[in-house]
Amino acid sequence: MTNILQGQQKVLGYFFAIGATALWSGNFIIARGLAESISPINLAFFRWVVAVVVFLPFALKPLIAEREILKNNLPYLLITSLLGITIFNTLIYLAGHTTTAINLSLISITFPIFIVIFSRIIFGELITLNRGIGIILVILGVVTLISKGDFSRILSISFAIGDVWMLMAAIIFAIYSILLKHKPKQLSIWAFQLSTFILGLIFLFPFFIWEYVTLPSVEFDTKTILSIFYVGVFASLSAFVLWNKAIMMVGPSKAGMIYYTLPLFSGLLAYFFLQENITTMHIYSALLIVSGILTANYESKLAKLVAKN
């Protein structure tokens, strides 16, 4: 009976991960589509304002009830908020100004490799032969993507800076995912999520004020309003709750396996809404990246048996 329940929990966890990934794919389309009409800081700020307002009626009661737990874990909450809410998403919107939505999604799926690397550095987890080969394949895939297949670009540093910002965002998200695995067990998803949304918004506020004073005001047309609503409700509230549940049920590595489908969703959306072409270079890069991640996460039956014992 216990095995059946565990199996059902894993299946549910995978569905949560798929849902979060599908919702996040639209975030890259909006990052690219609104690049000319709203700044990264403004888009990130209004995104989290919407997320907090919509989430508040559902999570205010748990937030108040668990205020002592929140207070006792404030350093942890500050770090996760800064990385996962403030920096990660702002970097995506910054990257969207100079690179394509397809590139954003392809580079974003490298984060499980950084989980492997940071797990080695922080927790001393061994990097097996499979993981070593996987890391090399992912690096080759990213280099192919960033250089557009022309490796001489790497020497001249002439690739899009947006690709670099997105790579930094992937690193940040890897650290955030590792931190999620160590969320205090007595802290509910609702209180945790709302508190990080609020703290992340507070971190963004000084930069928002600076842009408000120094840059022209944002023109809120229908496209911009609907886009902010999408990233605030679906790509923030819904996706983050689903992703956090997936992390709790199946762990960061297995949830990361589902995240690899992100370029599939983003590629199709970019093709239909942004008229971005899916080239042979994108396909080669995707094959290298996905092959590397699958290789890095592969465990033989013997390895699993040894780990259990």
One digit per residue, the tens of pLDDT, for the chain of length 309 reads 566 666 677 778 888 888 888 888 888 888 888 877 888 899 999 999 999 999 899 899 999 999 999 999 999 999 999 999 999 989 989 998 888 777 787 787 777 778 878 877 777 777 777 777 877 887 787 777 766 666 665 555 555 788 889 989 989 988 998 888 888 888 988 899 899 999 999 999 999 999 888 888 777 888 888 989 998 888 877 887 788 788 888 877 677 667 777 777 777 777 777 777 777 777 877 788 778 777 766 655 444 433 444
Assign residue 175 a region (left: φ > 0; alpha: ψ between -120 and 50; beta: otherwise). alpha
Count of other CB atoms within 10 angstroms of residue 4: 8
Assign residue 148 a region (left: φ > 0; alpha: ψ between -120 and 50; beta: otherwise). left
Q: Which three-class secondary structure state does DSSP give residue 220?
A: coil
Show Cβ contacts of residue 105 under 8 Å, excluding neighbours closer than 6 positions. 25, 28, 262, 263, 265, 266, 267, 270
| Angle at alpha carbon of residue 55, lines to 54 and 57, rounded to 5° | 90
Q: Distance between CA 131 and CA 126 in Å, rounded? A: 9
Report CA-CA distances (Å) from 77 to 162, 174, 205, 265, 296.
28, 16, 17, 31, 30
Task: Considering only the C-alpha atoms of the chain, give the largest distance between any 2 of them, rounded to a whole number of Å.
Answer: 62
Which residue type does 146 have? I
pTM: 0.75
Q: Distance between CA 202 and CA 180 in Å, rounded? A: 20
